[in-house]
Amino acid sequence: MLIKSRPPFASEITPREIVESRRDFMRHLAVGSVASAAVIEMAQREAFAQNSTIARLPATANPAYVLSEKKTSYKDATTYNNYYEFGTDKADPAENAGKFKSHPWTVRIEGEVKKPVTLDLDKLLKLAPIEERVYRLRCVEGWSMVIPWLGYSLSHLLKQVELTGDARYVEFTSANDPQQMPGARSRVLQWPYVEALRLDEAMHPLTLLTLGMYGELLPNQNGAPLRLMVPWKYGFKSAKAIVKIRLTKDQPRTSWNVANPAEYGFYSNVNPEVDHPRWSQASERRIGEDGFLSRKRKTLMFNGYSEVAGLYSGMDLKKLF
């Protein structure tokens, strides 16, 4: 069903991990008959956290996208992330993104379109029915997760702007704010972060314009308030904190492909037969399930999403990796 009023945004609520840490603190802190000022203050904060609004995002589960595999825990999915704007360590995004202002927010859609438009989050939330889809996320480093994402097919948005006959690619530009994003002050990549898809990839029903996860709005460290999820490609193709979507005639330059074209191809489909120059892609480690010493999973072609194979009919996917 369509959302009639927006839920609170991530920047407006107490993060779940803070609530849980406060509860742990209260459970384990031994107090005497007279509570100290610090304990009283913590108790007051605890009461506030329990009464704060939860950033729920109503969604209907799409039965076409349900996996029998165990879902990754919320804690693992929100504390083990690649998001270089907030740091290169997996724990950096959760530690550094808490004060990132993900509202108000607008996204500009322009380029090879007949109706360029700037949309705010309220309009994006109402554009199409929000679905829950359980997708695998496979990262190029060899780890994977299973996450219930919330959103709708990107094609719903692209159809609103009426593409011209020259539209062949879709370019996504992420937020670039060094004041809020300490990693954006580094030279690890050229900023802002840019990713892109071929138009038929972007229009495929699997490509999700993502607004939430685990029944809630996206946390900052997972790309709030708006990101892509392209489940048959490696995770870095799914741009986070999107501020601009541009339709183009020519293939855009993308951040990782520019930084190291020998290791990060434009397509970056999950393909166990194409190794990263520094490691094999034939297997993967499922976060929260398989330890470093445990048996790894076999990597599936297209991350298991065989329905996209027709997009690449006749293409050499070892050359066009």
Residue 261 CB neighbours (<10 A): 12
pLDDT, tens digit (0-9, with 9 covering 90-100), for 228-265: 999 999 999 999 999 999 999 999 999 999 999 999 99
8 A C-beta contact, residue 144 and residue 135: no
> Residue 263 is which amino acid?
E
The fraction of the chain above a pLDDT of 70, given in percent, is 82
Q: Which of 219, 284, 245 is closest to 69 using CA atoms?
A: 284
Helix boundaries (H) for 220-266: 255-259
d(CA 197, CA 152): 17
pTM reported for the whole predicted model = 0.84
- For tokens 């889809």, the residue is 133
- Decide which of 3.90.420.10, 3.90.1150.10, 3.40.50.20, 3.40.630.40 is the CATH code for 56-312: 3.90.420.10
- For tokens 């879709």, the residue is 170
Strand partners, 130: none
DSSP E strands: which ranges in 91-130?
A: 106-111, 117-120
Strands 131-138 vs 60-61: parallel, antiparallel or unpaired: parallel
Number of H helices, E strands in the chain: 8, 13
pLDDT for 129: 97
d(CA 231, CA 237): 9
What sign for the dihedral angle of Cα 87, 92, 95, 97?
Answer: positive
pLDDT, tens digit (0-9, with 9 covering 90-100), for 152-186: 999 999 999 999 999 999 999 999 999 999 999 99
pLDDT for 295: 75
pLDDT, tens digit (0-9, with 9 covering 90-100), for 38-91: 443 344 334 333 333 448 999 999 999 999 999 999 999 999 999 999 999 999
pLDDT for 291: 58
pLDDT for 73: 97
Q: Judging by beta carbons within 10 Å of its beta carbon (0-12, 13-18, 19+), is residue 2 exposed, middle or buried?
A: exposed
Residue 37, pLDDT above cutoff 60: no
State whether residue 195 is helix, strand or coil: strand
Least confident range of 7-21, 151-165, 200-214, 224-238? 7-21
* CA geometry: angle 224, 195, 137, nearest 5 deg: 60
DSSP 91: T
8 A C-beta contact, residue 87 and residue 134: no
Reading the block at residue 47, the tokens are: 């009461």
Residues 6+ apart with CB under 8 A from 152: 127, 128, 129, 130, 131, 208, 209
DSSP 113: B
